[in-house]
Amino acid sequence: MTLGFGVIGAGRIGKLHAENIATRLRDTQLLAIADIDANAAASTASKLRVPTSTDDYRKLLENPQIDAIVICSSTSTHADIIVEAAKAGKHIFCEKPIDYDLSRIDAALKAVEEAGVKLQIGFNRRFDANHRRVKQAIVNGEIGEPHLMHIVSRDPAPPPIEYIKVSGGIFFDMTIHDFDMARFLVGSEVEEIYAAAGVMVDPAIGAAGDVDTAIITLKFANGVIGTIDNSRRAVYGYDQRVEVFGSGGSISTDNRFSNQATIQTTQGVWRDLPLHFFLERYADSFVTEMREFAQAVRSDTIVPVSGPDGRVPVLMAMAAKRSYELNRPVKIKEVEA
Amino acid sequence: MTLGFGVIGAGRIGKLHAENIATRLRDTQLLAIADIDANAAASTASKLRVPTSTDDYRKLLENPQIDAIVICSSTSTHADIIVEAAKAGKHIFCEKPIDYDLSRIDAALKAVEEAGVKLQIGFNRRFDANHRRVKQAIVNGEIGEPHLMHIVSRDPAPPPIEYIKVSGGIFFDMTIHDFDMARFLVGSEVEEIYAAAGVMVDPAIGAAGDVDTAIITLKFANGVIGTIDNSRRAVYGYDQRVEVFGSGGSISTDNRFSNQATIQTTQGVWRDLPLHFFLERYADSFVTEMREFAQAVRSDTIVPVSGPDGRVPVLMAMAAKRSYELNRPVKIKEVEA
Amino acid sequence: MTLGFGVIGAGRIGKLHAENIATRLRDTQLLAIADIDANAAASTASKLRVPTSTDDYRKLLENPQIDAIVICSSTSTHADIIVEAAKAGKHIFCEKPIDYDLSRIDAALKAVEEAGVKLQIGFNRRFDANHRRVKQAIVNGEIGEPHLMHIVSRDPAPPPIEYIKVSGGIFFDMTIHDFDMARFLVGSEVEEIYAAAGVMVDPAIGAAGDVDTAIITLKFANGVIGTIDNSRRAVYGYDQRVEVFGSGGSISTDNRFSNQATIQTTQGVWRDLPLHFFLERYADSFVTEMREFAQAVRSDTIVPVSGPDGRVPVLMAMAAKRSYELNRPVKIKEVEA
Amino acid sequence: MTLGFGVIGAGRIGKLHAENIATRLRDTQLLAIADIDANAAASTASKLRVPTSTDDYRKLLENPQIDAIVICSSTSTHADIIVEAAKAGKHIFCEKPIDYDLSRIDAALKAVEEAGVKLQIGFNRRFDANHRRVKQAIVNGEIGEPHLMHIVSRDPAPPPIEYIKVSGGIFFDMTIHDFDMARFLVGSEVEEIYAAAGVMVDPAIGAAGDVDTAIITLKFANGVIGTIDNSRRAVYGYDQRVEVFGSGGSISTDNRFSNQATIQTTQGVWRDLPLHFFLERYADSFVTEMREFAQAVRSDTIVPVSGPDGRVPVLMAMAAKRSYELNRPVKIKEVEA
């Protein structure tokens, strides 16, 4: 069965998903692209030989050939489109985060549940080969019972200050991926968070009311203790590593590099920098998440990243933010209430 | 300008090139697939939504919309199809080797030259990120003047004995890639070859008149000395590494792995095996070689692997074979004469 | 000038220092060994051809040929012997910690100051080649201004429960080395500590009133944020690594191994475990710290680990302990007051 | 039983052995040092508190307290001193090579055999932890039956031209260690050698009648094929690595480094250079070889590197030299005859 797809939003991530659906997936057809900027939609559609483009995403919801939609529009529109798409009976792949507001998230999840459609959240990093290998080691018991977890997640450079101002802050914008990763790897919910943070990269980020460097301590329900180490600027490139330590050993991952060459000169032993940008580093994971979404829709099985998986990291970001503001550990229960 | 492609041969490598042309290249169109097995051609064409399939490759040569053909049929047909395609004014991408017979190779190259079409040979490994980085280091002078070169090239498992019998032997079938790599990296021609070899993997290979393990010493015109280390069976997977040592340092490459995870247990510190098969290890290089071929055709510039680049490794294989048989160094001149 | 040494305490660490002084240092002479167990003292003295052994350490303080004494007796005796040795005009090398009681530490440091003798504390890890290289990178500005620090410090196995009971707890017994390392590397004082911890290795450790697994967050005066990751049992061996991340890059260290061999089989790519025990891992650092102590005495220059360097980590351990008990960040000022 | 030692030759290697015997071995006593330069002998003796020094090595042979002598004088004297020492009933540790002349080697080995004393040759690299681990892997069958072997052995810088002129040439002076290593690791004798070589590092080496860069192919009696890769100058430091590939996998070693720190900056990911000089790289192996020699003497067991182990690499060097001169493979039998 060929699955019909529509993509809403033709920005950077929308174009990426559109291209993956059009060229990397089997038995799928990308039928339409929508963007409030009609030209952006048309240009992407043309490049990928997609038959339809529009500036009105509702056209996609009305198209009976479209089985699944991919929401890549701006965050503030996610929840509403989820509700509409669910009512239209479409399966939904939605970029993270669903929303920053719990009640809006809950309304969207409720609509999905009532409609009985699939909803998958775009936490693509779960599909990365390194993170999958860590998860597998834990599930297989290769390192025994987990005790400690350490996530290093550093961007190569901060986004523009204008973006920072509307981003919701580092915990919602950047750490949210690591919050998801922490839950995913440890396989247990976080109960309490302590965030230490500061402005070290750029004073303008501080002036915008945000921080750019943070260490977040997580206490999990199963007793595991973990840390997330964030920076908005690692000058050597995108730094994405994980270590989980347990009763039977440890597993840790290195970054990925464009080549495996080592050069020795009188100056030292060196190699080229790690992959610099998330689009390179996680290129495969974006394909895999979409392939598994299509597969879940086709076989009517559960999606690998559920709606509730999109909700919990928002709670964690709330707790982290409050912890930083109060300089004390904050329980998830405190922010959920 | 959209470039029209036709692929001849729908075996493993033909299907790979067809898929890459259809989904990974920009501004190209795969218009037809030919195979003597009409079903094989039709099945691949259908999967990739290619409009035409046929059991007669001449149909492709007659199609005015096809600018370039990709020859992936059996080796014995390469030279003849090159001649016909050249006469038809098609640009040609041909899988290695052109042929095992020098006079047939020369006839093919002459036809290409007379027709003024492009011919690129499928030495895909030159396009691998690791090998490119080594080449770049040498060209940039990062390691000074090269002195020594060492290529490790080991397959995960030998091919079937039936294949071995018609393969032309290890030097023509397997080392030929390494001969090309040696010339490519060092940037100088090999003048003399000494091959030490034996049957260590499987006596049946010896019974078929071939060897399965070899070390080949190369002397280059510019004074560099190099070795190639071949085995038909590395039980841990495909082993493809290179080291070049020079007056200013050295560069060496490691294998590529499916993940960068390291596990520590009471048993040791370990990681998963390297990528096991050439289709995984060199997946990107197959895309890149075709992309650069298309680019050379489109911009009428020189192809990165020329017809003569396809001829020299055959001479080197001849010299290696003779060296092994006589147990003495053999000059390239001896086999060319 | 040959320097005369006396060693007090012929336990594991006393024997190690005695052997290093007797065989690894130039222009030093080990003249006497004292231990409350006269046989232990005599046995070590005999093996190293040391002329005098005694069960009364005061004999060493009275010996005019002895310029420096090395205190390796039990922790509870350190402060008193420091006071006596200082009054006797001896230079002092004292194993960590000086004491668990601030007033006793301060009394010892006062005696040293009044006597004008040298006092060096046995934080040997500062002299390890890896930690020195990290320090050097920071001092040289190789990674710019430090932002984040992460210390992994895991023992291969917990000490006996009887020892745990009198150890002062994990923060005083184990993390104290990491507290010193944190100050040493970052070059700034810690102002606030948050400790998350639990009993994951052995319930008997919990029954003894201690924890065995901890993550400690440190905030430094210069703005750096750091973490220490401790476990009493890393089944794969002694795990001692450091990472410091800054505005210009990062530096991280790997463990040390008995060999640099890598084995590839059908099972994976692996190497032998890291050095298992602190005596192997830090063998060189014990020699270097004593050599630099001798050098500081001989040339009357400042010692590389001062008395106050022995005092501050005790404060940090107090803060960590209180933080764990109260589950909130604790300022160093709170415990010093 | 305390073993009495005498060292003949107080040059670089003689001083090293003297210091190791005096400070690193248990139950040994260094009683005398001889050197034709009496001052050199006296200075080393004084520094190590050795009771006797002399310019006449025969004094050591006459000393009844001396059980074993260590021959570190110039190569031309080795064979004669072995004969004299054997007649005096002393056990002998002799630096490599015994001699460059087969008949003199054979006379020395005969004298040792007749006297029934121990003779160990100073092939220290066998005692290096990396090489031992490779040997162990092969003996344990961890990589199955060996098929291929590759030794990289490159010096950081060539010796002075004056030394080159009297060194016997690269095969006798430098490769001889690798010839020993090849036999040791593979556990089989070499039957045939092919040497390709050239002058790439310094024309003055060529003018002195020697080469500075070589690749030597070895065929072993058990079928294994191997290569040795030599250069007189690796600008990045001493390069000593080994790879053995077999039916069940492979084992390879990396160099040893002064630290395990990795730095990432905008320029790349790098570490400090490998240990630069053989005295650092093989420091431990010099201690271990002497310790095992003392142990063999004390327990009257066989020494780990026998007299014949000192003879065979000289034959291999002869074959390599002849192979290079004739540009053809040369059998060991040809040079032994």
Spatial distance between the Cα atoms of A278 and A177, rounded to a whole number of angstroms? 12
pLDDT, tens digit (0-9, with 9 covering 90-100), for A43-88: 999 999 899 999 999 999 999 999 999 999 999 999 999 999 999 9
Q: How many CB contacts within 8 angstroms connect chain B with chain D?
A: 97
Residue C43 contacts D where some CB pair is shorter than 8 Å: no
Of residues B167 and C151, the one with the higher pLDDT is: C151
Chain C nearest C-alpha distance from B259 (Å): 12
Q: What's the whole-number mean pLDDT along residues D35-49?
A: 95
Nearest to D156 by CA among D60, D238, D216: D238
Question: How large is the average pLDDT for residues D296-318?
Answer: 97
Whether residue C277 is predicted with pLDDT greater than 90 in this model: the reply is: no
Chain C residue with CA closest to B263: the answer is: C270
Is A261 at the interface with chain B, CB within 8 A? yes
Q: Of A288, A241, A289, A251, which Cα lies nearest the Cα of A139?
A: A251
Query: Are D268 and A273 in contact (CB < 8 Å)?
Result: yes
Gap between the Cα atoms of C190 and C183, Å rounded = 7
**DSSP letters for C70-119:** EE-S-HHHHHHHHHHHHHTT-EEEEPSPS-S-HHHHHHHHHHHHHHT--E
CB atoms under 10 Å from CB of C3, counted, come to 21
Q: Does an H or E element contain B34, and which?
A: strand B28-34
Six-digit token string for C287: 């020699």
Q: Any chain C CB within 8 A of the CB of A215? A: yes
Contacts of A64 (CB under 8 A, 6+ apart): none
- Cα angle C163, C167, C169 (rounded to 5 degrees) comes to 120
Structure tokens belonging to residue C104: 């006793």
D188-to-A206, C131, D124, D127, D184 alpha-carbon distances in Å:
69, 44, 19, 19, 8
Instruction: Confirm or reject contact between D87 and chain C (CB < 8 A).
Output: no
Question: Residues B288-305: pLDDT tens digits?
Answer: 999 999 999 999 999 999
Would you give the distance in Å from CA B175 to the centre of its chain?
10
| pLDDT reading at D204 higher than 80 | yes
Rounded distance between C-alpha atoms, residue B141 and residue B134, angstroms: 11
Alpha-carbon distance A46 to A44, whole Å? 5
pLDDT, position C49? 87
One-letter amino acid identity for D63? N
CB contact under 8 A, D223 and B229: no
Q: Could you read off the pLDDT of C258-268 as tens digits, one per residue? A: 999 999 999 99
pTM for this model (two decimals): 0.96
Whole-number percent of chain B with pLDDT over 90? 96
| Cβ-nearest to B266 among C235, C270, C274 | C235
> DSSP alpha helices (H): ranges in A241-306?
278-281, 283-299
Nearest to D251 by CA among D97, D109, D141, D117: D141
- The pLDDT assigned to D219 comes to 98
Q: What is the pLDDT of residues C240-257, one digit of tens each?
A: 999 999 999 999 999 999
Distance in angstroms (rounded) separating the CA atoms of residues D200 and D216: 16
Are B208 and B156 within 8 A, CB to CB?
A: no
Average model confidence (pLDDT) for chain C? Answer: 96
Average of per-residue pLDDT values in chain A: 96
C149 vs A contacts (CB less than 8 Å): none
Contact list in A for residue C223 (CB cut-off 8 A) is 198, 200
DSSP string, B41-109: HHHHHHHTT-SEEES-THHHHH-TT--EEEE-S-HHHHHHHHHHHHHTT-EEEEPSPS-S-HHHHHHHH
Q: Check CB contact of D272 with chain A, cutoff 8 Å.
A: yes
Average predicted confidence (pLDDT) for chain B: 96
Share of chain C above pLDDT 90, in %: 95
Beta-bridge partner residues of D119: D92
* B89 in reach of chain D (CB within 8 A): no
Question: How does pLDDT run across A109-129, given as a tens digit for each residue?
Answer: 999 999 999 999 999 999 999
Non-local (6+) Cβ contacts of D315 within 8 A are D102, D332, D335, D336
Return the axis-axis angle of helices C129-140 and C175-186, rounded to nearest 10°.
Answer: 30
Q: pLDDT band at C26, cuts 50/70/90?
A: confident
pLDDT of C337 strictly over 80: no
pLDDT at residue A337 above 80? Answer: no
Measured between beta carbons, which residues in chain D are less than 8 angstroms from residue B170? none
Q: Indicate the SS3 state at residue A301.
A: coil
D263 chain-C contacts, CB cut-off 8 A: 137, 142-143, 249-251
Say which of B234, B266, B273 has its CB closest to residue C268: B273
C178-221 tens-digit pLDDT: 999 999 999 999 999 999 999 999 999 999 999 999 999 999 99
A262 neighbourhood in chain B, CB within 8 Å:
251-254
Half-sphere exposure of B152 (CA within 13 A, CB side): 24
Residues A6 and A28 sit within 8 Å (Cβ to Cβ): no
Instruction: Name the residue facing C130 among D251, D252, D260 (closest C-beta).
Output: D260
Report the residue of chain B nearest D198, measured CA to CA: B223
Does B236 contact C at CB distance below 8 Å? yes
Cis-peptide, bond into residue C274, ω within 30° of zero: no
Is C269 within 8 Å of chain B by CB? yes
Chains that touch A (3 or more CB pairs under 8 A): B, C, D
Mean pLDDT of chain D: 96
**pLDDT one-digit tens code per residue, A272-304:** 999 998 889 999 999 999 999 999 999 999 999
Query: Using omega within 30 degrees of 0 as the cis cutoff, is the peptide bond preceding D158 cis?
Result: no
C190 contacts chain A (CB < 8 A): no
Pairing of β C146-154 and β C225-231 = parallel
pLDDT at residue A113, as a whole number: 97
- Whether the per-residue pLDDT at B277 is higher than 90: the answer is no
The token duo for C261 is 């061999």
Q: Do B8 and B70 touch, CB atoms closer than 8 A?
A: yes
User: What is the helix (H) or strand (E) element at residue A182, kind and residue range?
Assistant: helix A175-186
Q: How far apart are CA B99 and CA B119, in angstroms?
A: 14
Contact (CB<8Å) C273/B268: yes
B249: left (phi over 0), alpha (psi -120 to 50) or beta: left
Could you tell me the strand order of the sheet in which A119-121 lies?
A52-54, A28-34, A3-8, A68-71, A91-94, A119-121
Asked if the Cβ–Cβ distance from D217 to B201 is below 8 Å, we say no
Task: With CB atoms and an 8 Å threshold, state whether C251 touches D259.
Answer: no
Residue D337's pLDDT is 74
Yes or no: say if D54 and D41 are a contact pair by the CB < 8 Å rule. yes
Interface check for C1 against chain B (CB to CB < 8 A): the answer is: no
Selected residue of D263, D269, D272, D281 to mutate for chain C interface (largest C Cβ count, 10 A): D263
Is the pLDDT reported for residue B320 higher than 90?
Answer: yes
Alpha helices, DSSP H only, in chain D?
Answer: 12-23, 38-47, 58-62, 75-87, 102-115, 129-139, 161-166, 170-173, 175-186, 203-207, 278-281, 283-299, 307-326, 332-336
Whether residue D229 contacts residue D238, with contact meaning beta carbons closer than 8 Å, is answered with no
Alpha carbon distance D80, D77 (integer Å): 6
**Phi, psi at residue A245, to the nearest 5°?**
-115, 135
pLDDT above 80: residue C1: no
Q: Look at B248 and A265 and tell me if their CB atoms are within 8 Å.
A: yes
Interface of C with B in 101-120 (CB under 8 A): none
Spell out the SS3 assignment of A122-144.
CCHHHHCHHHHHHHHHHHCCCCC
Exposure of C175 by Cβ count < 10 A (0-12 exposed, 13-18 middle, 19+ buried)?
buried
Q: Is residue C272 less than 8 Å (CB to CB) from chain B?
A: yes
d(CA A223, CA A225) in angstroms, rounded, equals 6
Residue C162 confidence (pLDDT) above 80: yes
pLDDT higher at D47 or A233: A233
Which helix (H) or strand (E) segment holds residue D243: the answer is strand D239-246
Contact between chains at C269 and B270 (C-beta distance less than 8 A): yes
Region A227-239 average pLDDT: 98
Interface partners of chain B (CB pairs < 8 Å, 3 or more) are A, C, D
Q: Is the pLDDT of residue B337 over 90?
A: no
In contact, C309 and C123? CB cutoff 8 Å: yes
CA distances from D191 to D227, D315, D337 (A): 14, 11, 13
> Which of A154, A236, A262, A265 would best serve as a mutation to test chain D binding (most D beta carbons within 10 A)?
A236
Is residue A262 over pLDDT 90?
Answer: yes
Q: Are C320 and C175 contacting, i.e. CB atoms less than 8 angstroms apart?
A: yes
Is the pLDDT assigned to residue C326 strictly greater than 80?
Answer: yes
- Collapsing DSSP states into helix, strand and coil, what is residue B194? strand
SS3 A272: coil
Per-residue model confidence (pLDDT) at position A304: 97
**CB-based contact C245 A227, cutoff 8 Å:** no
Q: Do D265 and C132 touch (CB under 8 A)?
A: no
Residue D1 has pLDDT above 80, yes or no: no
A139 band by pLDDT with thresholds 50, 70 and 90: very high
For chains B and C, count residue pairs whose Cβ atoms are closer than 8 Å.
45
Q: What residues of chain A lie within 8 A of the CB of B259, using their CB?
A: 129-130, 132-133, 253
Instruction: Determine contact: D244 vs chain B, CB below 8 A.
Output: no
Residue C81 CA to residue C87 CA, distance in Å, equals: 10
B258 touches chain C (CB under 8 A): no
Nearest-angstrom CA–CA distance, B236 and B276: 8
- At C292, give phi and psi (nearest 5°): -75, -30
pLDDT tens for A163-193 read 999 889 999 999 999 999 999 999 999 999 9
- B209-236 pLDDT, tens per residue? 999 999 999 999 999 999 999 999 999 9
The encoded tokens of residue B19 equal 């898929």
Q: List all residues 6 or more positions away from B103 whose beta carbon is below 8 Å from its beta carbon.
A: none
The dihedral over CA atoms of C200, C204, C210, C212, expressed in degrees to the nearest 10, equals -30
Write the CA distances from D105 to B105, C283, D311, integer angstroms.
Answer: 57, 41, 7
Q: Which residue has the tokens 């991340």?
A: C245
Q: Quote the CA–CA distance of A220 and D16 in Å, as a whole number.
A: 57
Kindly state the tokens that stand for D296. 């063999």
DSSP state of B126: G
| CB neighbourhood size of C268 (10 A) | 16
DSSP state of D267: T
